[in-house]
């Protein structure tokens, strides 16, 4: 099995398990990622998804170039790989736990997650210019990092290290490799402890400024949050605070 799905409390871990090939995106891996994302979406016991790779060398080295050569792949089909928020809706939060090189399609997977925790030795690169391939999926990159850095990443194909990625805002935190799983699990659990309707609305709100002008973004945010205000959980939070007890979220 090239992709593993497992639960650790409220956190689902989706692991590309092909370390001998630097977790490259073979057809089997891509199918496993699709299956894992769909399973997460349908799994009511999973509040947060962590995406990672096996081993400590690579999060994901991108497409399997040998496979591409044998199939003479030209333009990848729209469903070639799950792209969170583009070709598959993932309403619950996602975290990339980057345990090594995140290159090409691996960069794509990390980019599309909501949060990124990286090991100190992680590297990030959009290397398509070095192999004559394309990266249309990198269109949001200049929204995530300063435009001049986005140009450098895309035009040179050279990697940036985890600390530079952190300084640029591409990564949320950098930790020693031995602490990566614990750090991602802790972040997932802290998110999962919050009111689920509020978390889902917060995720949608975070991306509004990338899609709408300011006035319309406010309007959409009001529409997104109104059902949250009217929910049972919106009454439970203040009641629990007044009673000095932990809230019991119902998700409604």
170-183 pLDDT per residue, tens = 999 999 999 999 99
Q: What is the pLDDT of residue 208?
A: 94
Q: What is the pLDDT of residue 131?
A: 84
Average pLDDT of span 206-225: 93
136-179 pLDDT per residue, tens = 999 999 999 999 999 999 999 999 999 999 999 999 999 999 99
Q: What is the pLDDT of residue 65?
A: 63
Average pLDDT of span 64-73: 64
**pLDDT class of 68 with cuts at 50, 70, 90:** low
pTM: 0.94
Q: Across the chain, what does the average pLDDT equal?
A: 94
What is the DSSP secondary-structure string of the chain? --EEEEEETTEEEEEE--GGGTT-B-HHHHHHHHHHHHHHHH-TT--EEEEEESSSSEEE--B-HHHHHHHT--SPPTTSS--BTTTB---S-EEEEE-SEEETHHHHHHHHSSEEEEETT-EEE--HHHHT---GGGTTHHHHS-HHHHHHHHHH---EEHHHHHHHTS-SEEE-GGGHHHHHHHHHHHHHTS-HHHHHHHHHHHTGGGTS-HHHHHHHHHHHHHHHHTSHHHHHHHHHHHHTS-------
């Amino acid at each position: 099995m090239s992709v593993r799905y497992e639960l650790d409390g409220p956190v689902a871990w989706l692991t590309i398990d092909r370390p001998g090939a630097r977790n490259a995106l073979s057809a089997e891996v891509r199918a496993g990622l699709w299956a894992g994302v769909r399973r997460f979406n349908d799994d009511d016991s999973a509040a947060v998804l962590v995406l990672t790779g096996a081993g400590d060398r690579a999060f994901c080295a991108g497409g399997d170039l040998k496979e591409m050569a044998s199939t003479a792949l030209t333009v990848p089909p729209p469903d070639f790989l799950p792209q969170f928020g583009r070709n598959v809706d993932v309403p619950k939060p996602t975290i990339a736990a980057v345990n090594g090189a995140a290159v090409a399609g691996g960069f794509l997977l990390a980019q599309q997650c909501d949060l990124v925790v990286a090991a100190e030795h992680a590297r990030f690169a959009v290397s398509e210019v070095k192999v004559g391939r394309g990266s249309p999926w990198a269109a949001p990159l200049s929204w995530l990092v300063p435009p001049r850095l986005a140009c450098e990443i895309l035009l040179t194909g050279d990697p940036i290290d985890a600390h530079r990625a952190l300084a640029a805002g591409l990564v949320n935190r950098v930790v020693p490799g031995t602490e990566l799983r614990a750090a991602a699990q802790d972040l997932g659990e802290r998110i999962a402890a919050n009111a689920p309707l509020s978390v889902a609305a917060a995720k949608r709100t975070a991306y509004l400024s990338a899609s709408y002008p300011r006035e319309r973004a406010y309007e959409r945010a009001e529409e997104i949050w109104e059902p949250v205000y009217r929910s049972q959980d919106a009454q439970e939070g203040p009641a629990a605070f007044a009673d000095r007890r932990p809230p019991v979220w119902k998700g409604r």
